[in-house]
Each structure stands twice: as C-alpha cells, then as structure tokens.
Structure 1
C-alpha cells in the first residue's frame, strides 16, 4: 500500500525494471507527473500531490524512480541509471497514465535534473505540456555554465565557480566507490530523518520512508552514470520545447542561484520564481508549490500563459500566503493590494464582509496568485480561532501576517468610560494578540519561518492628552511586538511594529470622540477627516513601508515624517515631547 491518501497504484514495466506508479485525482483533468530527487522516493511529494489533486483539482501521477521506493532496481547497477534509461522510464509512465494528451512535468532535485533531459530532447517532443523545475539544473546547461566561466575567468565568475564547487561537495563523495553505500546503509541512513528535521526543518509525517538506505545506495549511480560525462561534453541543442517554470529556493545549501543566470538562452518561454526556503521545499512549502504548479498548468492549458508578478518585491513575495486584517479600507486595503502586486496569495480580513470581498476582488487582477475574503471581528477570540483553523485547512500556513485592524477614540481620560476602554483595547490590542497567538503559533509549528507585522502608531511613543486609550493600546502593541521579536528570532520569524503618523484613511470617519454630544462628534469627525485629507499622506506609502520592512526584517518602522520626528524626540528630547503632549487639539 502507498502512504498517499486515496491513491490508485499500478505497475509499469520498462527496460528490465518495474516502476511503482501512484495516481490521485480525476484522470479526465490535465495530468501532472511528479518526479522525485535524491535520496527520496515518490512520498516526498505526498503533501504537494494531495493539494494538487484536491476537489476540482488535477490528475496527479507519482512514480518511484528505478531502484527507489517500491520500484525495482536494474541489474547490474552500473550503467543502469543513465539519462537515456530514465527517459525511457518517464515515457513508459506517461504512455500508461496519459496516452492521448501531453503531461505537465514537475521535478525536484535529481527529479528535476532528469526532467531537464526529458524536456530538451527530440524524442519527447509533444509529450510534455509544461515543466516546473526546482533545485535541480540541466547537466548540459551546467556544463556550459562551467565552460563559459573557465573561458572568461573574471573575478566574479571565478567566485561563482568556487562557490558552487563548495556547495557540490557531496557530488564528489558520491563518486567514491563503496563508501556512500556503506554510509547510507549504516549510520547516515539511520540519522538522516533527524538531520532533515534539524537542518532543513523538514517535518516528519511518514517521510522519509523505511526504504531510504537502499534508495540512497542505489541512487548514487544517478551521479556516477551521468554527471562527469555530461559536464565534460554538454549537448549544444539542449533547448526546452515546452514552457518552463523555475522555482529557486534562495537558501538552498546545494545549488547557487547563479546557476540559472543564462537560462533564457536555453528556455524561450521561462517563468522565474524565488522562494525564501531551503532545499526540500516539497516537504516544507507544499501549499506554495501546489499553488504555483496549479497556476502554471492552468495557464498553459488555457493557451494564455500568465506572466509572473512584476510588482515591487515580487521576487520575495510571489506565491506566499499573506493575511491582512482591517483590509476593507485604508492601510489594510493598500497593503493587500501591494502584496497582490508582488504575486502573493492574499486573505483580506475585515468585519465588514462586503468591504473585504471588494478588496479581494480588486486584488486579483493586480497580480495576486489568489485572493480570498473573510469576514471576522478581530476582537472576537473564538471567531479568530475559527478563522485560523479555516485558513490553515483551506489555504495553508500564513507566511506574512499583517495585524492592521484598529479603531480610533479621542477625548479626556475622565470622559472615557469602561466600555470605551474595552472597545479600544479589544480591537487595537486584543485583535493583535489573537492574530499573533493563532497565526504566529502556526508559523512556529511549521518551523519554516515567517513574518508578523503589527500596525501600531506614532501615538505609541508620542503622548497626547486627547488620546489616552488609543495611545495606550498602540504603545502596548509596540511593546508586544518587541517581546515577540525576541522570542521568535530563534525560529526565523520576524516581527515588525509599523508606526504610521497622520495618514489619509477612513479611520477618522469612524473614530469616536468622548465627552461631547452627537452633533459635536460629527463636526469633529468632519474636521479631522479634512485635516488628514489636507495632510495628504496616502496609505499606499505605508503599504510600501510594510513590504520593505518585511524584506529587511526591521524591528520598528516610523513611516511619515512626523512619525520619524516624534520617534527621534522620544529618544533624544523626551521632555519636549511631554510638553507637546499638553497641547489641546483644535478639533
């Protein structure tokens, strides 16, 4: 039996071996063939496969490469793992599972290395509709990459060669006789799962399978049968005959990003994506990979390939899952749009269901991989728990959380009722606490990092006689952010407090003014809105500051000029700031 839930299993005979093939999803839908790497088996794809084949999804096919998992090994091993024979295996699987339609190919690590062969040779032309590559270059392209740097050895190019040479230390070891087999069948095979969990943050859950020692010992011949031959004499006709999506994990310990610098030379239809992750992304980033693969397959099938996001920071956020509270207007809506333009998958959360839906609707054409709307009051702890559970189940673990929802309250301390205090603290502080507690915990448990942005205010460090409750709530958010940043730093989760100043948003139209009658409150709202409008600082600039802060992992960001000024005064001239706090606002 296979560990893939609901998978149908079959055997395919080819070239003296028997391949174990698993299928999920509706065979009437486009077929995606997932090819695993070294020292894995097809189970490395289980998380991705189940997402791809979900309700209304794709026809997903996985197979154990010869000598791995439940497929048999060639005899003798030497010469039994050449790219030519691996190509025979792929064509046999493709003919068995999709005889009448080309398949969409996805490869990771050595699965990607061999898939580059499939997509660049003439005999597979017409059998591959698209190819998604991750963490595995074409050996031919790699050979030309090396040769071009040896022929023109500039300091930068020599540095690239030395850098990749250091990353490829394991390749040299795998070429040594007997030693790799002994290591994998001995201590390395036993300790490998713990190494993956500790170094790569790969969760367990039935991976790797018990066949790992044997798989790894057999898989050493993938390198021995192919690497030296191809790097010495790379093909000159290794041009892809199908569109290619390249996914590059930027923290990959084994492959340099520079390997793909010249890829447009070989791939006329190329979509590039980067991912802030390490090597084993099929296990650590299944949600994101499934979203990208589905998007690429759907676009290819429609004949209208969707270009990659071109917005600012698209190389950082494309495909990431971002949740923004208070997204129905103002800074929240602008932030949702900014992440959408960067190609993120966005969840727009607001207590106003219609406003949240409108934000999601407007975000989709901006470049968002996907956009959803959720109506939730962030002050309601139980509702937030249900939201966190739903998001994790349906969309995945959030990569970036923006706790933006907030309300305003102005007036004398003695005019603030207990209910006034409760309302402000429930939204401005408890809303942030709920978000950090629920979504931050999911990030921590996933073990792959993330980022939390808490929108505070310049009022967090600029006291004012007119804003006792509001300033208190925002000062608490600022300190909470600092405490969380210290606690989560060791888990790769950044925390940023963003402190806008006077920004032209709709908060003035909903802010409450205590100690006055209804007519006076309406007058003060109109005057405040007019003053903020005259200030004219757009929420889009705050959104840009938020994205920039996540990229730079900044602890605290005063945004507007007055916010930066007040922050400087709080540090260097606090007495002057206290005197300024005594001024009665003219509203």
Structure 2
C-alpha cells in the first residue's frame, strides 16, 4: 500500500528521491500539492520508482471513489488532461502521470530500448499498484497514451486490474499490424485506397524514425513554434499547455515510435484480445488517423462501444465537456461498487441506428416546439440515440411529457422547460439557466413555429408581427443565446433551424408564413458561413407537408368567424392526414443532417421536387404560386 499524505511546500523536482518500493513493489512516499499553474494546481503529487526511472504521478478527487487513470500521448505531458481531469474529479478519483521521459518523470538511460511497450506496461502496473491496490482502474488514453493502453488491456498480466478502457486517437499497434496485413495479402481497390490514405496520414511516423533530426527539430525551432501551430491547426489556445518541457518530451518520445512501431506492425501479436470493455472515441477530423483503422475492431474487443466526435486530433483540449460526459457514463456503466457511481445510466436503444448512438450518445440536445409534432419526434429520436434532451415549449405540460417519455425511450437525462421563443428576455433567461444547470448545448434544434394562411391584404400587421416573432425571431433568439455559448466554449456543435418547403416555393396563400421561413433559410446559410471556422455546423430543414398539429392551430387571415376558422383548420388537418407523412421521418432527417453536416435538407418528396425546381426552373414554381387553394 502506498503511504501518501499531503504536505505543504513547493512541488519537488525530478531529483528528489523520497519514494521507494517496498518488497511488494508498491510505492511508498508522501503526497504533496502541485503548484505548476497548468490547471492541475491542488492535485496531490507523488513519485513512483519503477525500472530505474521515477514517474511523476498526480491525483485529484476522493481516493475512496472509483479510480480513473489518464494516460497522455506524444508530444504531450499529463497537462494535456488539465481540462478533463478537474471535471472528472467531481465524481471520481483521478490519476495522471507523466510517461517515462516526459514532463516531470525521469528518462531511461540509455533511451534506446527504454520505451518498449513491455516497459511501459511495467510503469502502468507500478502506478496502479500505488494508487488503487485493491480495485481495478478505469483507463483512459489519448494518442500514444491510447496506443500503450491497448497493450495494457490486451496482455494477460494486467487482467483484473482494468475495469474499462476509453480509447481516443490511438490504435493498438497489433490491431494496426493485422489491419495492414489483411489489406496487403487480400488487396482490393478499396483496401489499397485505405492503405494509401493511412500511409499519407502517417508521414510523421517515418520522420520520427530518422536519426537525430527529430531531436534537433523538437529542441529547436519546432518546439518553439509548436504552440502556435496547435492554435492554428487545432484551435487550441496557448497558455499553460503545452508546458515548457515540450522540447525534451518530444525528443525523448521519438523513442516510443522507434522502439515499438516497426516491430509490432511487422509481427503483430495474434492474441491481442481486450479483457475489459472498451469505449472507442473517434474524432472524425483527425489529421493523423483514418476512421477505417477501426473497421475490424469488433473482432478483437468482445464488449465495444463506439463514439464519433466532429473534432480534430487533440480532443482532450478542444472537447473536454463531451469527453467528460462519455467517460463518466462509461465508468458508471462498468463500475461494480455499491457506491453512488455504480448506477448504470440508460443507453441508446438497441434498435436505433448505430451511427446515431456513436455520434449523439451523452450529448446535450435542446429542441424547441417539443410538445408535439416534429419537435416531439426529434426529441424522441435524440433520446433513442442516448442524448440528454431538453424539451422546450410554451405548453408546460406537453414539454414535461416529452421529457418524461424521452427518459423512458433511452435518454440518460431529460428535462422540460417552458418558454415562448418569441420572448427575447425569456429566451435569454432560459439560455442562462440551461448553461448553469445542464451545461452548454451540443445540438440546438430551433423548431417552434406557427402557421398562417391568407392573402397579403387580408393579413393584418398584428398577424405579420406574430408570425415573424415566432418563426423568425424565435430562431434568431435561439441562435443568439444558445449559439453564442456554443461558440464561446470553442468545442464545436450544431444548430438546426426548421424552415419549410415554403421557403423556396412561393404561394399567394402563404405570404407571411413563406416570408418567415425564407428568412430562416437565408439566416441559416449566413450563420453556416460565419460559424464554420468555430467548428459549428448549421442546417436548415425544409420538411414539406407533414402530418403534425400545426394545421389545427393555424390562423386564417381575413376570417373573423370562429366557426369558419375551425372548419378550415379541420379541412387542412384532414388533407395533411391523408398525406400522412410522419414527423418521425423528419426527425430522422434532422439527425442525419447533423451527422453529415448538411446545409439545406428538403425532406418530403414534394419538398425535394420544389427545391430542385427552384434551382432549375423557378418559373414553373412562380406559375404554380398563382393557384388559389379552395377555401
């Protein structure tokens, strides 16, 4: 057992040797608060000796809770986790350590042969024995931290010491070797393309195998310019990360590649099967790794959960909130203790499309107009995919029912909120409440809308105002107040605005409604252009004729008799019912639009036809617009 206790005073350097192993190989020593100002301040630090080197280990959170062990990649140190670790520490005992030769850990002498996966496994076991001797740990790895963690989770000597493994941006070298062999021994045009594609992405691996040059570059100009390159390529702001040990970290870390890559890719282990459940998080914009690398991963991992994230390589820095949510849910699911963290959350329904569960599981989704129709169906679709759902509507009871049903369907959590989207102050207050109580929204669906039909001269100024307030200003308020927080967070996201086929199909009977929806369409196109550089997608959904309740509440301009208006509402509802295009299909189109980052999505066949005509033969639509529907 490790004898760790906090002491006051400055953090120690790598030259201090107050810790040693007892006869069982477990570390003994004192814990001390870290004061390096990198986001891990207040963490308890200890040093663990193993294999002739000294590892710098940091701990946060209550040590009696389940342990989550974070392993960093190349050319990083443990500070790459400084945004994720404090968030996880609210629920778990979080442990981070500088891999040998990195950060405040010492390097092996000589470097050659000192970074093999076998020796890295020795380090892992030494850390685990010290920080969690009686319980298995939940392992999380990024980049080379993930590469070595695949070794940990597939070798026999670590069996029983790992409760779960979350992998991101780093494959198993053994699995990679088998992936290459399969494509070389049984080539097809697609497989050859995959090999060439990954070969191009792996250019840096070849460079790191060259003698001396990588060390000179990292200790010289590349090391100095790396923070600026990260900011430009990945959107990672400088400040606290990377640390000033970057040059030596990267120079030493080159041996991770030299000691392991060629040997494992040419002679991969045939028994590299995972003995713990694995969660794979794949950034879809990773410049270094192809998504195709994981095509056969299910052959090696009996219990595999897949997630995809629209982000680049350094997700611990750019998407800490989403990673924290996914890691927390995965640890909860596989934690076997009797404590509060043991309750397994609801997951996506087995019948939902796998790509939806991978993309939206654990994300926070807000849908307006969620009490009925397309909004309710959309909330349910995201719930089935495992997202956390906020159902918003003027109808408080309807929003609450949607939230309750979302939880039953599969949402890990769901809430109902009441607001009139046309009320600017109310929307601003709701956005502040959501950010404070639930977090920053990952997907915003501005769906609330009302219908109005009637000629231009029959439509009063008050009716124009109400349609524009709800259909246009409601979208503007949502984009401003929720989208602004999304942009400030700097972790990307997606905004969906429900427009209509009426946005590009003129009609003499729908001047106010069509104008509001055309404005929503153009607003969406403008926002898409502006927010692209922030990693935020914007989609305009144009449903067409869908069987929803909007017809039963639509207003008819110029009709003053209540009975006559009711008759027209029933007639419109009957016609839409005869068309019977279900809102669930629109909801599926919304999820697909977010998944594929589509700009404009006409949904029904008539909407797709009108959209095509608006581009190819707009005169046909203008002629059709003159038709007067019967009253």
Structure 1 length as normaliser, TM-score?
A: 0.91
More displaced 10-residue stretch of structure 1: 571-580 or 140-149: 571-580
Query: Who is 2:102 aligned against?
Result: 68
Q: Quick one: structure 1 residues 424 and 122, their matched pair in 2 at CA, closer, same or farther if it must change by over 3 Å?
A: same
Q: Quick one: structure 1 residues 429 and 306, their matched pair in 2 at CA, closer, same or farther if it must change by over 3 Å?
A: closer
The reply to whether residue 379 of structure 1 matches residue 422 of structure 2 is yes
The reply to whether residue 524 of structure 1 matches residue 584 of structure 2 is no
Query: Who is 2:39 aligned against?
Result: 4
Q: Cα distance, 1:141 vs. partner?
A: 2.3
Matches within 5 A, 1:267-346: 267-301=301-335, 311-312=352-353, 313-314=355-356, 315-346=358-389
Query: Who is 1:434 aligned against?
Result: 477
Query: Who is 1:29 aligned against?
Result: 65
Specify the SS of the correspondent of 1:198.
helix
The reply to whether residue 461 of structure 1 matches residue 497 of structure 2 is no
Q: Cα distance, 1:490 vs. partner?
A: 5.0
Specify the SS of the correspondent of 2:139.
strand
The answer to whether the Cα contact below 8 Å between 2:346 and 2:412 also exists between their aligned partners in 1 is no
Q: Cα distance, 1:459 vs. partner?
A: 2.6
The reply to whether residue 87 of structure 1 matches residue 130 of structure 2 is no
Q: Cα distance, 1:64 vs. partner?
A: 1.7
Specify the SS of the correspondent of 2:83.
helix
From 218, 225, 233, the counterpart of 1:199: 233
Q: Quick one: structure 1 residues 81 and 546, their matched pair in 2 at CA, closer, same or farther if it must change by over 3 Å?
A: same
Q: Cα distance, 1:503 vs. partner?
A: 1.6
More displaced 10-residue stretch of structure 1: 530-539 or 412-421: 412-421
Q: Quick one: structure 1 residues 19 and 391, their matched pair in 2 at CA, closer, same or farther if it must change by over 3 Å?
A: farther
Q: Cα distance, 1:4 vs. partner?
A: 3.1
Q: Quick one: structure 1 residues 82 and 308, their matched pair in 2 at CA, closer, same or farther if it must change by over 3 Å?
A: farther
Q: Cα distance, 1:81 vs. partner?
A: 2.3
Cα deviations by residue, 1:236-276 (Å, 9 ceiling, x for unpaired)? 33222111112222322222223223323322222222222
Query: Who is 1:238 aligned against?
Result: 272
More displaced 10-residue stretch of structure 1: 531-540 or 378-387: 378-387
Q: Quick one: structure 1 residues 42 and 579, their matched pair in 2 at CA, closer, same or farther if it must change by over 3 Å?
A: same
More displaced 10-residue stretch of structure 1: 531-540 or 567-576: 567-576
Q: Cα distance, 1:396 vs. partner?
A: 4.7
Partners of 2:313 and 2:186 in 1: how far apart?
A: 30
From 285, 291, 300, the counterpart of 1:257: 291
The answer to whether the Cα contact below 8 Å between 1:11 and 1:18 also exists between their aligned partners in 2 is no
Q: Cα distance, 1:384 vs. partner?
A: 2.5
Specify the SS of the correspondent of 2:539.
strand
The reply to whether residue 51 of structure 1 matches residue 87 of structure 2 is yes
More displaced 10-residue stretch of structure 1: 515-524 or 94-103: 515-524
Query: Who is 1:423 aligned against?
Result: 466
Query: Who is 1:537 aligned against?
Result: 581
Any unmatched runs of 5+ in structure 1? none
Partners of 1:142 and 1:563 in 2: how far apart?
A: 45
Partners of 1:509 and 1:193 in 2: how far apart?
A: 58
Query: Who is 1:13 aligned against?
Result: 48
Partners of 1:579 and 1:224 in 2: how far apart?
A: 70
Q: Cα distance, 1:205 vs. partner?
A: 4.8
The reply to whether residue 170 of structure 1 matches residue 174 of structure 2 is no
Q: Cα distance, 1:428 vs. partner?
A: 0.7
Cα deviations by residue, 1:155-209 (Å, 9 ceiling, x for unpaired)? 4444433332222221222222322222111111111111112112224452212
Query: Who is 2:407 aligned against?
Result: 364
Count of aligned pairs: 585
Specify the SS of the correspondent of 2:76.
coil
Partners of 2:383 and 2:578 in 1: how far apart?
A: 28
Q: Cα distance, 1:309 vs. partner?
A: 5.9
Partners of 1:564 and 1:284 in 2: how far apart?
A: 37
Q: Cα distance, 1:6 vs. partner?
A: 6.3
Q: Quick one: structure 1 residues 549 and 256, their matched pair in 2 at CA, closer, same or farther if it must change by over 3 Å?
A: closer
Structure with the bigger percentage of helix: 1
Query: Who is 2:592 aligned against?
Result: 548
From 132, 135, 138, the counterpart of 2:172: 138
Partners of 1:431 and 1:268 in 2: how far apart?
A: 47
Q: Cα distance, 1:338 vs. partner?
A: 2.1
The reply to whether residue 349 of structure 1 matches residue 392 of structure 2 is yes
For the aligned residue pairs, the C-alpha RMSD in angstroms reads 2.8
The reply to whether residue 475 of structure 1 matches residue 518 of structure 2 is yes
Specify the SS of the correspondent of 1:129.
strand
Specify the SS of the correspondent of 1:401.
strand
Q: Cα distance, 1:567 vs. partner?
A: 4.0
Partners of 1:49 and 1:503 in 2: how far apart?
A: 46
The answer to whether the Cα contact below 8 Å between 1:254 and 1:279 also exists between their aligned partners in 2 is yes
The reply to whether residue 407 of structure 1 matches residue 442 of structure 2 is no
Partners of 2:471 and 2:506 in 1: how far apart?
A: 17
More displaced 10-residue stretch of structure 1: 575-584 or 246-255: 575-584
Q: Cα distance, 1:297 vs. partner?
A: 1.1
Query: Who is 1:224 aligned against?
Result: 258
Query: Who is 1:109 aligned against?
Result: 143
Q: Quick one: structure 1 residues 235 and 565, their matched pair in 2 at CA, closer, same or farther if it must change by over 3 Å?
A: closer
Higher relative contact order (CA 8 A, sep 6+): 1
Q: Cα distance, 1:371 vs. partner?
A: 3.4
Q: Cα distance, 1:316 vs. partner?
A: 4.2
Cα deviations by residue, 1:118-159 (Å, 9 ceiling, x for unpaired)? 112222111111111111122222233333344434444444
Partners of 2:177 and 2:626 in 1: how far apart?
A: 71
The answer to whether the Cα contact below 8 Å between 1:326 and 1:351 also exists between their aligned partners in 2 is yes
From 495, 503, 509, the counterpart of 2:546: 503
The answer to whether the Cα contact below 8 Å between 1:309 and 1:318 also exists between their aligned partners in 2 is no
Any unmatched runs of 5+ in structure 2? 1-34, 337-341
